[in-house]
Structure formats: structure tokens, C-alpha cells
């Protein structure tokens, strides 16, 4: 039995790379399907080589450190959340991605691409997330600005890139890994990105490992999240622990809320708080309806 990592899955076939760099094309054993286990790109697996057969066999999926359902990948330990001036940033999506990363102990990094066009988006991001304990990097896949800092942050991690279509994820990955990924331009008519990546693959180069995943613009709030857990995922709230009038304060509209007071004083960004309250409403609704 040998050990490797799935770097691509397509049409029921899985390409697995060993640490030596040798690759093997495998089929998954039927027992995995019976066990309701679906191999994902990023999975560490046990497998056997082909002996007199066209393909070897994927025998076992090793325990995962993290799991994404959309896109379906495993063992990511850093999420590079990417935004750009065009298309217009979806900050609610960014907040949802931050929540997802923190529920799975994944390190989030915010990369503001296309800084060669304008620095305004980076300034906006720095203002909104100034207390969020989040690295915010201004980068450009065209000019190369900031790519060294991003590469330094990514080194030693299995990284996933996430964000709206058209923000330049594929071009960033191409520049960082010095490979050629097919890219397409943003539609000027609707200011929305055309989809570049069509399937998921684990790519490597210059000591970096990246899961190139299809872009997406929607992410559901974790449906098993209790309302009381949501504030714990916001680092901005940590300095005010124990200072609210009520121990169970959700920092919504409760009287004597220290977080709301910090917002009023400008210590926590008001737009970030507005989106927090919208997500809190969604989490509360999901929690009430969890048995329906």
C-alpha cells in the first residue's frame, strides 16, 4: 500500500501524486461509495499500483484536517480570499468566507488584486477589517506588486483561492507558480467575471501548493452554527468580552452592549457590523428551522 495526495479528479479517475513526485491514475474502490466517502482533491490517500490493469486503486481516504463542500476540496489550511476593484467586491461573501475559514481553523488572507488599477479597494478593505486580525495584501498579477509578500504568506501551506469570478484568481496563481492557466477577461457589459477554472486541481511551483478551484459568488452560512457561536468568530469583539450588560449578548440590539458602543465610537467598522447583523439573522433563522 502506498501513500499520496489527490491532485486532480475527473470522470471517476483520480490523479494521485506521491511525495517523490511520481503520479498515478486511480479508480476509487466501491467500498468507499458504500461507506459514503467521496474522494476530494487534496485528500491524502492509501492506494495500490496497477498490476496487469489499466488503473490502480484508491483504497483509503486518510483523516481530513478541513473539508469544503463548495468547491469540494480537502485539507486546505490557508484560504486566500480574493477581491478586486472589478467586479465590485461582494463584502458579504468575504465575511462568509472568513466565517467558514475560522470554523475550520483555516488561516484566512485577504488579497486585493488589480492594485495597478486603483488602491481604493485596498484602502476600503483595510478600513473595514482593521480589527479583524486579518492579513490584507495589495497585489497585482499584472505588475507583480505584492506577489512576494503573498508567496511568503502561502509558503508551507496547502492554499485555496476563493472569491467572485473575474477577480483574477487564475492569473494570480499563474504568476505565483509560474505556470500558464487559461484566463478570460471580465465582461465589461455586466462587470461580472467569466468563469475561467472549470475543475479543481492541486498545482505546485516555487515551493507553493495551490488548489485551483472553480470561482463562485455564493456561499451559504454554515447551517449548524448556533447563534451564540457567531460572535466568537469575530476577532473584533474579543477586546469587549465580559463588558456587555448581558452575558449572552449577541451584539445585536441589546442594551448595554459594549460592541455596539465600540461601533458608535468608530472602533469597529459600521459596515462590517451591518453585515454581521444580517448574518446573525440568517443564523438565527437556520437554527430555529433546523428540525423542519
Q: Is residue 252 part of a domain?
A: yes
Q: Which pLDDT score is estimated for 1?
A: 87
Domain count, the chain: 3
Phi and psi (nearest 5°) for 250?
-95, 5
Mean pLDDT of 178-183: 72
Whether residue 100 sits in one domain with residue 202: yes
Go through the chain and tell me how many residues it has. Answer: 292
pLDDT in tens, 8-58: 998 899 999 998 889 999 999 999 989 999 999 999 999 998 777 788 999
Q: Which pLDDT score is estimated for 191?
A: 41
Say whether pLDDT at 190 is over 80: no
Per the prediction, the chain carries an average pLDDT of 89
Q: Which residue has the higher pLDDT, 191 or 288?
A: 288
Q: Which pLDDT score is estimated for 117?
A: 97
Q: Which pLDDT score is estimated for 256?
A: 97
Whether residue 74 sits in one domain with residue 24: no
Mean pLDDT of 57-71: 89
User: What CATH number is associated with residue 27?
Assistant: 2.40.50.140
Tell me which of 45, 62, 79 is where a domain ends. Answer: 62
d(CA 142, CA 113): 9
pLDDT in tens, 82-122: 999 999 999 999 999 999 899 989 999 999 999 999 999 99
Q: Which pLDDT score is estimated for 134?
A: 97
Whether residue 120 sits in one domain with residue 20: no
d(CA 195, CA 209): 22
Whether residue 198 sits in one domain with residue 73: yes
pLDDT in tens, 230-278: 999 999 999 999 999 999 999 998 999 999 999 999 999 999 999 999 9
Tell me which of 62, 81, 100 is where a domain ends. Answer: 62
Q: Which domain holds residue 191?
A: 68-212
Whether residue 73 sits in one domain with residue 57: no
Say whether pLDDT at 205 is over 60: yes
Q: Which pLDDT score is estimated for 223?
A: 66
Helices 91-103 and 270-288 pack at an angle, to 10 degrees, of 60
Q: Which pLDDT score is estimated for 52?
A: 72
Whether residue 72 sits in one domain with residue 191: yes
Q: Would you say 223 and 286 are in contact if contact means Cβ atoms under 8 Å apart? A: yes
Q: Is residue 262 part of a domain?
A: yes
Give the chain as a 3 state SS string.
CEEEEEEEEECCEEEEECCCCCEEEEEECHHHHHCCCCCCECCEEEEECCCCCCCEEEEEECCCCCEEECCEEECCCEEEEEECCCCCCCHHHHHHHHHHHHHCCCEEEEEECCCCCCCHHHHHHHHHCCCCCCEEEECCCCCCCCHHHHHHHHCCCEEEEECCCCCCHHHHHHHHHCCCCCCCCEECCCCEECCCCCCCEEEEECCEEEEECCCCCCCCCCCCCCHHHHHHHCHHHHHHCCCCCCCCCCCCCCCCCHHHHHHHCCCCCHHHHHHHHHHHHHHHHHHHCCCC
Q: Is residue 219 part of a domain?
A: no
User: What CATH number is associated with residue 240?
Assistant: 1.10.40.50
Q: Which pLDDT score is estimated for 221?
A: 62
Q: Which pLDDT score is estimated for 111?
A: 98
Q: Is residue 221 part of a domain?
A: no
Band of pLDDT at residue 214, cut at 50, 70 and 90: low
Rounded to a whole number of angstroms, the distance between the first and last alpha carbons of the chain is: 45
Centre a 10 Å sphere on the Cβ of residue 269 and count the other Cβ atoms it contains.
19
Please report the sign of the dihedral spanned by the C-alpha atoms of residue 187, residue 195, residue 121, residue 240: positive
Say whether pLDDT at 197 is over 60: no
Q: Which pLDDT score is estimated for 198?
A: 54
Q: Would you say 106 and 96 are in contact if contact means Cβ atoms under 8 Å apart? A: no
User: What CATH number is associated with residue 91?
Assistant: 3.40.50.300
Share above pLDDT 70 across residues of the chain, in percent, rounded to a whole number = 90
Amino acid at each position: 500500500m502506498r501513500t499520496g495526495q489527490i491532485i486532480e479528479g475527473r470522470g471517476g479517475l483520480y490523479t494521485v501524486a506521491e511525495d517523490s513526485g511520481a503520479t498515478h491514475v486511480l479508480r476509487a474502490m466501491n467500498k468507499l461509495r458504500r461507506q459514503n466517502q467521496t474522494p476530494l482533491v487534496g485528500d491524502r490517500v492509501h492506494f495500490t499500483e496497477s498490476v496487469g490493469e489499466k488503473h490502480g486503486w484508491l483504497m483509503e481516504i486518510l483523516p481530513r484536517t478541513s473539508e469544503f463542500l463548495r468547491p469540494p476540496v480537502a485539507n486546505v489550511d490557508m484560504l486566500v480570499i480574493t477581491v478586486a476593484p472589478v467586479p465590485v467586491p461582494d463584502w458579504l461573501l468575504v465575511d462568509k468566507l472568513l466565517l467558514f475559514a475560522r470554523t475550520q481553523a483555516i488561516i484566512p488572507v485577504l488579497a486585493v488584486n488589480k492594485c495597478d488599477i486603483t488602491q481604493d479597494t485596498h484602502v476600503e478593505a483595510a478600513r473595514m477589517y482593521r480589527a479583524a486580525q486579518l492579513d490584507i495584501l495589495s497585489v497585482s498579477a499584472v505588475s507583480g506588486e505584492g506577489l512576494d509578500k503573498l508567496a511568503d504568506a502561502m509558503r508551507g501551506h496547502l492554499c485555496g483561492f476563493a472569491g467572485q469570478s473575474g477577480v483574477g484568481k487564475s492569473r494570480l496563481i499563474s504568476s505565483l507558480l509560474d505556470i500558464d492557466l487559461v484566463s478570460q477577461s471580465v465582461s465589461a457589459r455586466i462587470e461580472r467575471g467569466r468563469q475561467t477554472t472549470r475543475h479543481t486541481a492541486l498545482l505546485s511551483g516555487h515551493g507553493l501548493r495551490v488548489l485551483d478551484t472553480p470561482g463562485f459568488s455564493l456561499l451559504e452560512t454554515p447551517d449548524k452554527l448556533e447563534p451564540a457561536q457567531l460572535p466568537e468568530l469575530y476577532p473584533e469583539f474579543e477586546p469587549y468580552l465580559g463588558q456587555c450588560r448581558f452575558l449572552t449578548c449577541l451584539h445585536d440590539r441589546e442594551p448595554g452592549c459594549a460592541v455596539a458602543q465600540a461601533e458608535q465610537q468608530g472602533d469597529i467598522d459600521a459596515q462590517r457590523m451591518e453585515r454581521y447583523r444580517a448574518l446573525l439573522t440568517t443564523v438565527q433563522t437556520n437554527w430555529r428551522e433546523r428540525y423542519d
